[in-house]
Amino acid sequence: MNSIFLLLNLLPILFLYQFGGALHVSLPLTSEFTLSLIQTPLGTFFAYLSLISFLLVTIAQKSKKLACNYYVLQFLLSMAMLAIVLAGDFITFFIGWEIMTWSSYFLISKSNSIDIKSLQKYILFSLASAFSLIAGIVIAYSFAHSFDFSVISNSFKDMPFNIKVALIVLFSLSFFTKAGVIGLHYWVVDTYSKAPNLFSSILSAVMSKMGIYGLFLVYGNIVGYQELKMMFGTILNGTDFGYVLAWIGVATSIIATFKAITQDEVKRLLAYSSIAQLGYIIAVIGFGTTYGVAGAMYHTLIHTIIKLLLFINVAAIVAQTGKNRFSQLGGLIYRTPVSFVMLLIGIIGLAGMPPLGGFASKFMMYNAAIDTKFALILIGMLFSGAASFLYCYKLVYGIYLGHPTSKNLETTKEVPISYLIPQIILALLLVLAGTFPGAFIKIINPILVEFSLSTIPYSGLGVMNSAVGSFNGFFIMSAFVVFFVLILLLITRIKSKAKNNLNRFDISYCGEVPTQDTSLHFGFGFGTDLYRIKFVNAILKRSSSSFYESLATQTKKTSELFSRMYYGNIHNTMIIILLFFSTLFFIGVN
Amino acid sequence: MIFQIILLIMLAYVVGFIYFGLYRNITARIQGRYGPTVYQSFYDSIKLFSKNNTVSYGWMFYLGPVIMATGAVLTLVLVPVFSDSDFLRSVTSQGNLFVLLYLMVLGPLGNALAVGTGGNPFGVMGVVRGLTRLIGLELPFYIAVVGLIIAANSSDIVHIIDVQKTAGLNIINHPLLFIGAMISMVGFFGASPFDIPGAPQEVYSGPRTEFSGKFLALLMSQGSLFAFAKLVLIVDLFLGGADSLVMLVLKTFTIFVAIIFIGIVYGRYKVEQAVDFLMKLPTLIAVLGLARIVWFG
């Protein structure tokens, strides 16, 4: 079953490759509506991103005995995403969006740990996103008389100002919900953490990126960055609009980072980290400059790679040990060494340290902020980056380092090879992205032309150019490897008679000897300091759930009020119905 | 180039260890002790390289200090040492200030991995405190660096040095940024009041508890290289770099003594106190300096 769907997932990639950017299909339904697929550079980028992610996740699913309908739904989901990114009009886009919503809903519901409340949260927020989207589409249609992206884009300039703003807000809200901007992220954490373990990687790495694609589509193609600048005016060297958006992104990033550090469940940490990383993308997406777009695009790519890697890694560990909390894991490094190295590469990328790919994308975004002189935005991003080291370390320590917290962790075996293959591919990609960051300039330049922005100069595979400085990824990587090998040789030449410590309790412990019952794993101790820092405590003790719960209570009370009107007394109901229709009648007559 | 790199590493090793010796000596004198000789750290390092280490905890424990040392050496070669000569210029031009900011944390990551592998909860406690402290500690430094980058409109350190030749030193042009960066530097050097991660006499020696023999020697050596790199970076950014060896030693030593003198008179902050403090006054000072550059520069 797995191999059939593996081949099936390979087909669209070959298909897309075969067309080479020239795909243009249109299917006229009536004289007014035409469904069309057009391959733009932007769409192609996202199409490859999602298709390859699905392929890798399908490889990892080989070791799980999944039912046929699971694969069918997953394939449907990947095709829906393909429809979204290749759509040439809003009808196709919306059809893809809706299929994506319900097919992912059924996939999430297949998890063992899912509860009805999380599912309701997911579907409600997805519906809200879809309603906001369709409201925008209808308004756009009423002015442009077409669903076609290019027609709407051409007539956008002639729309009244408040309609323009309404359109931008409606579309943004819809895509923000998908990407999980803070405030609208209420569904994200529960869904990511309770979905089937391997499917969480799709949710975080690919489906959230559909929100990012939507934002690019609206800001870059339909509205156009030049138009955004003209509509809202400029501040410093960027647009007012970009500045507001950047604050939303930075706030998302900072809040989610601190929330991530204090989580005990591994997948909840990854979910919050995903929100935080998308916050970076949203922070730079509205700048409307070459480097803003390039930074957002590069981070989209890198975040997809990293989150796939980390979620597959965690899924493998959970499948192997049956534990999903930091306080229940630990000490797996010498039991599952390959997994450990993969996770290590993932977190180095996530923390954005050179010489891996994570640095190149962060560098691009930071330069975008300097280019527009948005200094406080940049400080916010750097601050959130510094805080993210803590959850990166928690991830690697809580699972692999320290002491095992239970007996069966001491006999765990390395995870199955099918989990490792996609991880190794992704880790290699991450290393390559860090070594040859210049290769990305070749991918991004056609997209920049599509947005009518100036392109980035290309000077070799290893060199990443930007507005205020460049660096040579190839040089840094090779210098790192050379120094590492030299120091390693030097230190191994020095003879010493140290024996490997066979007994894990043989540590310096204030003169005492720890026993089996001594709690030696520090996994649960992470983040407790944070509660005592006033600023961070103010963030941690607030939660969006209270807002949404009170909203739910209010809605319930209001609907109770209405239901009392209907079911209390038949005479009252009749009078209300009569009044309603007579009001309608009078409005109609006048 | 290779010869120059070796020369630089040797220079940093010697200068770093002498500064560390001076640090121990000066601290002792201020506290009314006689203190060790200036060369004591050298002797310690050489002695430790030839000693057996008591235990090892597997390959990650072995590689952690190596990663840390690699991070320190890489940082060192990417910082321009002399302002006017071509010394290692072909190497430093491959990186920039952002690369350095992030390379600086690569070393601590190696340390954290090794400490985690060692399995000593006190060590990990120190690492976590260090990372928590970093949330506040990086803030004024980042603001200062961002301010300088925007002022020079380049993240290239050589360019920032060159700008200071015509426009005057950054310490005079942007004093608020300098104050912010110096407060962060006190923490980066592990001096009081921000010395909670190591916290001698408190968490049983902190992150280095399990290291012995050649690992401890490697950690000490990379520490001195790294300290030198950080001092040179501050000199480059705020004091216009150094055009000769004498000026380099003079300028780095001035900064170093300033850090010691700030550190020695304070007690130790708890980690939350440190972050709280750093997020208030030093951040405010640095933000004011930054606002001056962005809005009135």
Q: Domain residues of chain A, as ranges? A: 1-223, 234-493+514-542, 553-589
Q: For residues A439 and A98, what is the distance between their CA atoms, to the nearest angstrom? A: 35
Whether residue A403 lies within 8 A of chain B, CB to CB, comes out as: yes
pLDDT of residue A523: 67
CA distances from A126 to A98, A121, A274 (A): 9, 8, 18
pLDDT at A131: 95
CB contact under 8 A, A468 and B153: yes
Residue of A353, A49, A96, A339 whose CA lies nearest to A205: A49
- Average pLDDT taken over every residue of chain A: 90
Cβ of residue A343 closer than 8 Å to a chain B Cβ: no
pLDDT tens profile A301-326: 999 999 999 999 999 999 999 989 98
Least confident of A307-311, A576-580, B202-206: B202-206
State the SS3 of A526-552: CCCHHHHCHHHHHHHCCCHHHHHHHHH
Q: Which residues of B touch A401 (CB under 8 A)?
A: 60, 113, 116-117, 119, 124
Residue of B nearest to A533 (CA): B272
Between A405 and A129, where is the model more confident?
A: A129
Rounded CA-CA distance A143/A369 in Å is: 35
Among B116, B139, B155, the residue with its CB nearest the CB of A397 is B116
Q: In the structure encoding, which two tokens stand for residue B39, read together?
A: 């060369």
How far lies A285's CA from each of A44, A86, A276, in Å? Answer: 18, 20, 15
| Pick from B64, B23, B16: nearest CA to B260 | B23
Among A418-422, B88-92, B246-250, which stretch is predicted with the lowest mean pLDDT? B88-92
Q: What is the pLDDT of residues B45-57, one digit of tens each?
A: 888 888 877 777 8
Q: Of B9, B57, B157, which to mutate for an interface test with A (greatest number of A Cβ within 10 Å)?
A: B57
Residue B196: predicted pLDDT: 80
pLDDT over threshold 80, residue A570 = no
pLDDT of residue B200: 67
Per CB-CB distance under 8 Å, the chain A contacts of B49 are 494
Element (H, E) at A499: strand A499-500
Residue B264 has pLDDT above 80, yes or no: yes
Query: At CA A115, angle to CA A111 and CA A121, rounded to 5?
Result: 105
Q: Which residues of A touch B138 (CB under 8 A)?
A: 382-383, 386
- From B29's Cα to the closest Cα of chain A, the distance in A is 30
Q: Which residue of A has its CA nearest to B68?
A: A484
Q: What is the predicted pLDDT for the residue at A24? A: 85
Question: Of B184, B237, B294, B285, whose CA–CA distance to A375 is shortest?
Answer: B294
Mind telling me how many Å the CA of B226 is from chain A's nearest CA? 15
pLDDT the model gives residue B27: 87
Count Cβ atoms within 10 A of the Cβ of residue B282 and give its class: 0-12 exposed, 13-18 middle, 19 or more buried: buried
How many domains is chain B built from? 1
- Cβ of B53 within 8 Å of Cβ of A498? The answer is yes
- Between A20-24, A216-220, A516-520, B271-275, the lowest mean confidence (pLDDT) is in A20-24
**What type of residue sits at position A331?**
G
Confidence of residue B197 (pLDDT cuts 50, 70, 90): confident
The answer, for A488 touching chain B at a CB cutoff of 8 Å, is: yes
Reply yes or no on whether the pLDDT at A407 is more than 70. yes
Position A510 scores a pLDDT of 76
A122 touches chain B (CB under 8 A): no
Say what the pLDDT of residue B295 is: 82
Residues of A in contact with B132 (CB under 8 A): 390, 529-530, 533
Q: How confident is the model at residue B12 (pLDDT cuts 50, 70, 90)?
A: very high
Query: Is A529 close to B124, i.e. CB distance below 8 A?
Result: no
pLDDT grade for A502, boundaries at 50, 70 and 90? low
Closest Cβ opposite residue B132 in set A383, A468, A530: A530
B296 pLDDT more than 80: no
The pLDDT assigned to B297 comes to 66
Question: Would the pLDDT of A520 be above 90?
Answer: no
Residue contact A373–B98, C-beta within 8 A: no
Please give the pLDDT value at position A501. Answer: 66
pLDDT, tens digit, 9 for 90 and up, residues B22-78: 988 988 998 899 989 988 888 888 888 888 777 778 888 889 999 999 999 999 999
**Overall average pLDDT of the B4-27 stretch:** 90
- With cut-offs at 50, 70 and 90, classify the pLDDT of residue B202: low
Name chain A contacts of B131, Cβ cutoff 8 Å. Answer: 389-390, 393
Burial B84-96 (b: 16+ CB within 10 A, else e): eeeebeebbbbbb
Which of A366, A373, A472 is opposite residue B294, by nearest beta carbon? A373
- The label of the residue with tokens 């996609």 reads A422
For residue A513, the chain B residue with the least C-alpha distance is B120
Please write the tens of the pLDDT for every residue from B144-155: 999 999 998 888
- Report pLDDT for A400: 92
State yes or no: pLDDT of A361 exceeds 80. yes
Q: Between A409 and A265, whose confidence is greater?
A: A265
pTM of the model: 0.94
Of the partner residues B103, B154, B210, the one whose CB lies closest to the CB of residue A354: B103
Name the helix (H) or strand (E) containing A129.
helix A116-144
| Banded model confidence at residue A574, pLDDT cuts 50, 70, 90 | confident
- Is the pLDDT at A543 greater than 90, yes or no? no
Q: How far is B261 from chain A (nearest CA, A)?
A: 27
CB A255: neighbour CB atoms within 10 A?
22
What pLDDT, on a 0 to 100 scale, did the predictor assign at position B214? Answer: 86
Residues of B in contact with A522 (CB under 8 A): 121, 124-125, 128
CB B150 to CB A375 under 8 A?
A: yes
What is the predicted pLDDT for the residue at A64?
Answer: 84
Residue A90 CA to its chain's centroid (Å): 23
Confidence at residue A237, expressed as pLDDT on a 0 to 100 scale? 82
pLDDT classification of A425: cutoffs 50, 70, 90: very high
Predicted pLDDT at B193: 85
**Is A6:A55 a contact under the CB 8 Å cutoff?**
yes
Q: How many CB atoms lie within 10 A of CB B58?
A: 14
Q: Check residue A28 and give its pLDDT.
A: 86
Q: Which of A379, A494, A536 sits opposite B214 (nearest CB)?
A: A494
Closest Cα in chain B to A397: B116
Mean per-residue pLDDT of chain B: 88
Stretch (H or E) spanning B264 = helix B245-264
What is the per-residue pLDDT across A173-219, written as a single tens digit (0 to 9) for each?
Answer: 999 999 989 889 999 999 999 999 999 999 999 999 999 999 999 99
Interface probe with A: pick from B6, B10, B66, most Cβ of A within 10 Å: B66
- Is this complex's ipTM strictly greater than 0.90? yes
| Cβ-defined contact of B156 to A469 (cutoff 8 Å) | yes
* B95–A476 C-beta distance less than 8 A: yes
Query: Which is more confident, B85 or A501?
Result: B85
A450: exposed, middle or buried (Cβ count in 10 Å: 0-12, 13-18, 19+)? middle
The model's pLDDT over A99-124, given as tens digits with 9 standing for 90+, comes to 999 999 999 999 988 999 999 999 99
Q: How far is A265 from chain B (nearest CA, A)?
A: 18
Q: Residue A297 pLDDT > 70, yes or no?
A: yes
Ranges A492-506, B69-83, B255-269: which has the least confidence? A492-506
Output the DSSP codes for A19-44. Answer: HTT--EEEEE-SSS-EEEEE--HHHH
Q: Domain limits at B206? A: 2-296
Residue of A254, A332, A335, A389 to mutate, interface with B, max B Cβ within 10 Å: A389
